[in-house]
Structure 1
Amino acid sequence: MIRVIVMDDEPLALINMEKKLEEFDSIEVIKTFTTVKELMAEGPNLSFQVAFLDIEMPGMNGLEVAHLLQEWNPNIYIVFVTAYRDYAIQAFEIHSLDYLLKPISKARLETTINRIQALFHQEKKSLPVVDQQISLLTIQCFGGFVVSYDDKTVLWRTVKTKELFAFLFSNLNSLIPRDTIIDALWTETDYKKARVQLHTTVSYLRTTLSTLGYLDVIQYANGCYILQLEDFQCDAYDLEQILNEKMESGRLNIEKAEALIQKYQGEYMATLDYPWIISKANYMNNQFTLLLHDLEAHYTAINDVKKREHILLLAFEHNPYSDKTIQQLMQHYIDIDNRASAVKIYNKFRDTLLNDLEILPNQETTELFNALSQEL
């Protein structure tokens, strides 16, 4: 179905146009408008592909409305409906699809609908096919936030478009109130301006995702937005899946865990300066710490000294202020009779605490170091 809106300041003309369009099985009229105020209030939250616009309207004429719609979404097709020929040149200058003169015959309208269908058929053929087996969309969350499609980094129309996707993706499949998004992403912006910016950014994001073959994955209902995305690869979701499987079965999938560790590039969205990410980042970083703990226990149990050391060093990098981690790493070096490395890593830990936090290692860590020093 091709989703359509219709706008005309004359109610009878609006009803007549809606009836004519609904005679076509491929057309769904999702909303009609008589004023620009109505369009501004509801239009940005609607998902539609074609707008039928009357040109002669008070306040903002159809040509101006067309510019507004194309700012929201440059992929929207515009069809002008008017009783006047005078605007034809201006209409086609803004790349309208068609220009219909009132009264409109069914045959003339059918020509327009056929043209729309042909364009949509051509677009559908050119869209990338989302493979159910091989996810071409890759989302890296650890170390930053990098979205790639077919091994090419996705380019965002604006910085806010990327941030909005990061926010919605962090709350995937959850209904998020519009005002919650505004409070998170447009904290210092006037509320009315923030709403307009949100609507514009949502349109940009929908367009970007649509070009990748992900259609209608952002929905708006009852004042809330929701991102429902499938067929993607993400390190953060791989981590949660590994830990959930371990919780259910009681066994860690070592192969999957090692594959995830190899791709690890830093803390959750570490390069992003988004205040709203702090809570989610703390949770995901703790989840990663749990995975490292489980892997360390596994390598200890099978006496794989090399892999145990690698995991402990990664744990220290992941949390450079953890006394528990440094104690494990020092004890590991003591167990393999590499006391020099134990002393070196302790000194590094102590310097980090002093420089960053102006504190010293706890008593247990200090006692382990003192005992080690006496043996040297």
Structure 2
Amino acid sequence: MLRAIIVDDEELSMRRLARIAGELGGVEIAATFFHPSEACAYVRDHHVDVAFLDINMPEIDGMELGLRLRQLREPLQIVFVSGYDRYAVDAFEQDAVDYVLKPVNAERLAKTLERLSRRARPPQPPPSAPKLGVRMFGGLRFFRTDGPGRETPIKLRSPKTEELFAYLLCKGTASREEVADTLWRGLEPDKAAKNINSTLYYIRKSLAEAGLEPLLLAGRYDIRIDAARVDCDLYEYERLVQHAGKGKRPGLQAYF
């Protein structure tokens, strides 16, 4: 619960604000003050989240008081409460959470408390995008992963489709000529090129049906995988090998 103070030289206004805030809940009125100097002394020695400040006061005005309180305790949320609307622009230039006109009513104060609550909540990280999961050791598997333990299998069209995809995942980048020579050796170039394009199409189709964004980048001469969006046990193995200082990236012969 947020801890708040009220500073106002008008007793009736102060009591009204404290009563309504108490009825609405979500904030504890820790102390009330008629004099700004007393509020400064309190904030210096106590934890306070929010200060409700009147603006027209005899010692110093609420604008100046807000600056002093924030120097004593940062971050401190400020809500200005005034019978006049002419100070609103100045208030928001101080990054005030709200500017509430007197007499305060429950409906209006509830909106202020909701704003205070939103500011007090820690920001939530954006949901992570799903990734392609690949397991090569212990049997080839493809799946969509939405986090630990959240896997959805992806079925590719044929063994040849799986073979091409696994080959590209291992290589990272491969020329079309290299792919044709490795997976369609002996075929005429035009026939091999047609097979490559149709197989790439079916890989992309399976990924799209699984709700994954395209991660195959096929150019005129080469094809590459966006490895940053793939969770693959082979990549993890390579990182461990490199970390252990055991040499360069293992060649394809280590896996086939």
* TM tier, smaller: 0.3 to 0.5
Relative contact order, higher structure (CA 8 A, sep 6+)? 2
The structure whose residues are more often strand, as a share, is: 2
Structure having the higher Rg: 2
Normalised to the residue count of structure 2, the TM-score between the two structures is 0.47
Normalised to the residue count of structure 1, the TM-score between the two structures is 0.32
